């Protein structure tokens, strides 16, 4: 029993704190390329069941080259209230993000579109607060300097990777 618990704790820590890569996947059926960063957990999964984890996702349309970005906010498994939205405070200004969807599976993942105009602001700001609201409450999480820097580096790597990704040849028959 103790060995199983230790293994679960180890795998959770490795999953939460491993790597800083960006995964790029070409999806010919959807005629797009997807890029996704690894998640960053803002609280320990072991000691807090209401953890938020953040990850960025980018979608590049193959035909037009247009790229759209979303922030995926993983709420956790014990939040049963209806998710309303996510906002970012960059410096002294709040930006409400447009909800694009909520995935309900083993956890709740709230997706919000990031306007391209705020990406340069996000990459340069010295203070980031993430605000999540559901029907019951609003949680404001001020990122530590390390969390902020990690998210900024991941978003920058994602934007560069998708911009440099060449258009793939798709033959339609």
Domain that holds residue 14: 2-164
Q: What is the pTM of this model?
A: 0.80
Task: Flag whether 169 is in a domain.
Answer: no
Give the chain's mean pLDDT: 83
Task: Flag whether 170 is in a domain.
Answer: no
- Mean pLDDT value of segment 153-169: 92
Report whether pLDDT(136) > 60. yes
Reported in sequence order, the residue ranges of 5-135 that DSSP labels E, i.e. its strands, are 22-27, 32-37, 40-41, 53-61, 67-76, 83-90, 93-96, 98-104, 108-114, 128-134
Residue with the bigger pLDDT between 68 and 31: it is 68
80 contacts: CB under 8 Å, gap ≥ 6: none
Task: Flag whether 110 is in a domain.
Answer: yes
Q: Please tell me the predicted confidence (pLDDT) of residue 169.
A: 80
Per-residue pLDDT tens digits for 44-100: 544 545 478 999 999 999 889 999 999 999 987 666 678 889 999 999 999 999 999
Report whether pLDDT(43) > 50. yes
CA distance 41 to 73: 10
Band (166; pLDDT cuts 50, 70, 90): confident
Query: What total of structural domains would you count in the chain?
Result: 1
Residue 71 phi/psi, 5-degree rounding, is: -105, 125
136 contacts: CB under 8 Å, gap ≥ 6: 81
Task: Flag whether 117 is in a domain.
Answer: yes
- Mean pLDDT value of segment 1-12: 42
Residue with the bigger pLDDT between 61 and 31: it is 61
Cβ-count burial 116-140 (b if 16+ within 10 Å, e if not): eebbeebeebeebebbbbbeeeeee
Report whether pLDDT(120) > 50. yes
């Amino acid at each position: 029993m103790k060995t199983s618990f230790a293994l679960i704790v180890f795998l959770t820590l490795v999953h939460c704190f491993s790597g800083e890569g960006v995964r790029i996947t070409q999806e010919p059926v959807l005629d797009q390329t997807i890029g996704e960063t690894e998640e960053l957990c803002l609280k320990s999964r072991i000691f807090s069941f209401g953890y938020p984890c953040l990850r960025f996702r980018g979608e590049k349309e193959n035909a037009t080259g247009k790229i759209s970005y979303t922030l995926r906010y993983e709420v956790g498994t014990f939040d049963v209230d209806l998710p309303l939205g996510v906002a970012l405070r960059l410096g002294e200004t709040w930006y409400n993000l447009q909800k694009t969807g909520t995935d309900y599976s083993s956890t709740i993942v709230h997706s919000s579109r990031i306007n391209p105009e705020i990406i340069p602001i996000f990459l340069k700001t010295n203070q980031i607060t993430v605000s999540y609201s559901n029907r019951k409450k609003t949680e404001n999480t001020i990122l530590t300097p390390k969390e902020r820097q990690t998210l900024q580096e991941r978003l920058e790597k994602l934007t560069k990777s998708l911009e440099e990704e060449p258009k793939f040849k798709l033959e339609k028959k």
